[in-house]
Structure 1
Amino acid sequence: MAMKSILDHKIISSRYFFPRPEPIAEPFWVDCGEHSLACWYQKSFADAFTLIHFHGNGEVVADYCDDFALEVQKLGLNCFLAEYRGYGLSEGQPALSGMLDDVPHIIEATGQRLDKLIVFGRSVGSLYALQAINVFPDIAGCIIESGIADLLERIMLRVNPEEIQVSYTELSQAVARDFNHHQKFEMYKKPVLIMHSQYDGLVDVTHGQRLFEWANEPKEIHIFERGDHNSVMYYNYEQYFSLIKQFMKNLER
């Protein structure tokens, strides 16, 4: 299959994604055409909001089936954990731009109305949560945790354009075409919650601040004083889920 974008080059994929096989009980399969994704869906409440969670690049759905899913259920939310190509039990190979095409399949697989969906993107998952609100601007709410404002900055830390036989300009244009987060937020008018750690050593807090600046009202940002990129939820566990609970209550008004 031809690359959707130079961002799907195997060198970028190998340095940006860290998939691992991990079984889960009762996977919820999402058909994306040439591959299927082994997601997980806990639909406990008939008329509740459904939280669709996109995890980080070094994580898998199995990491969230227990504590995270339980807390989401306590909030009275259905929980959909989206998996990526090549992660867990999913088929295919990870691809930055190519995986944008999987997002509509994931959203539609929930079987829920858009006004009953909340998308949640953590770290690299922010790329796909923002794609969801870009394609489906009627989604009820968007939560971004430890999110990425400038993908080009992140790629340049790991890949030299010459390695993939393109210029910096060509790489920059590819990012701007598929991952213009300023533009994606500009078109979205529903509530947004941004969460980030002040001491995130992988994705600097300025990314979260830029995302907040780009989002439309109503919006909220919370910068945690404890934890880092991979521990922000656990170091702020009670407050973390309290913020999600309040966000959900605001949607219900």
Structure 2
Amino acid sequence: MNSSNNSILDHPAISGRYLFPQSRHVGDPFVVEVEGAELACYHDRIDPEKLTVVFFHGNGEAVADYVPEISDRFAELGLNSLFIEYREYGGSTGRAQLVAMLGDGEAVMAAAGVAPEKAIAFGRSIGSLYAIELVSRQPKIAGLILESGIADPAERFLNYADLTAEGMTESEVVAATKLHFHHKRKLSGYTNPLLVMHTENDGLVDISHAERNYKWAGSRQKRLLRLPTGTHNTILSKNAREYFAAVDQLARQASARRE
């Protein structure tokens, strides 16, 4: 599904300055065709009866950065994993565009045969935009994890955008962001378990973003894990034990709701 509708957010002055396609790619990708692109994703299925983590990475990362180390860690927790590659990233074709990619996670899930009730959406940094979109489209998804996530995408877009060269205005960007990335509305409709993880010292995406996403969520079981060490890009390496323990707890909550 392509939901772009020629959004100004997909213009090179915005998407082209906020998305940073990386060439690193996995050797044996799970390739999925979407409108306008082929996505070179990665699917590790250890047990079809277990939950699957549907993972969206950051804007300067690639699926290859998480395979096999992180997929193996998920497997140790008894979780399958499905890493979504963005357009133009890794081995994917197409153009990296913020709005055009909104339906890609749902398409990859369907291609992989992962039912919403057996999925955990996981979004890191900009990946939070697509994880939140996925649960808004599929509210029966068993669990949602937001790591170093973003509450106000317009703030981030405007930090990078080159509006003057294209005659765009900040108000137009804010309006388009509210139309496509209205996190307060999307999260309020999600009621299954939620884990929000963020470091106190994230100098790129302030922890206030985590606080807002947590507050907005309609989840009946939700947790905000504030980590005192690490930064935006070292949250996992500096807090691996607490990080994966929290993921395991969320997965157990999600599994318990299925039984």
TM-score for the superposition, normalised by structure 1: 0.96
Aligned to 2:245: 242
Higher mean alpha-carbon deviation, 174-183 vs 19-28, is at: 19-28
Code of the residue aligned with 2:53 in structure 1: it is L
Matches within 5 A, 1:153-164: 153-164=155-166
CA RMSD between the two structures: 1.4
CA positional deviation for 1:3: 6.0
Aligned to 2:236: 233
Aligned to 2:227: 224
Code of the residue aligned with 1:230 in structure 2: it is N
Matches within 5 A, 1:29-44: 29-44=31-46
CA contact (8 A) 1:3 1:9 kept: no
Q: Distance in 2 between matches of 1:180 and 1:237?
A: 31
CA contact (8 A) 1:9 1:164 kept: no
Q: Distance in 1 between matches of 2:106 and 2:81?
A: 17
Q: Distance in 2 between matches of 1:123 and 1:70?
A: 21
Length, aligned pairs only: 253
Pair 1:46 & 2:29 matched: no
Code of the residue aligned with 1:251 in structure 2: it is A
Aligned to 1:108: 110
The one of 179, 182, 185 equivalent to 1:180 is: 182
Matches within 5 A, 1:16-165: 16-165=18-167
CA positional deviation for 1:60: 0.2
Q: Distance in 1 between matches of 2:10 and 2:225?
A: 33
Aligned to 2:168: 166
Report SS of the residue matched to 1:193. strand
Code of the residue aligned with 1:225 in structure 2: it is P
Q: Distance in 1 between matches of 2:96 and 2:177?
A: 16
TM-score for the superposition, normalised by structure 2: 0.94
1:198-241 Cα offsets, whole Å, 9 max, x none, are: 00010001001100000122111101011000010010011100
- Percent identity for Structure 1 against Structure 2: 38
Give structure 1 stretches of 5+ with no counterpart. Answer: none
Q: Which runs of 4+ in 1 moved over 6 A?
A: none
Give structure 2 stretches of 5+ with no counterpart. Answer: none
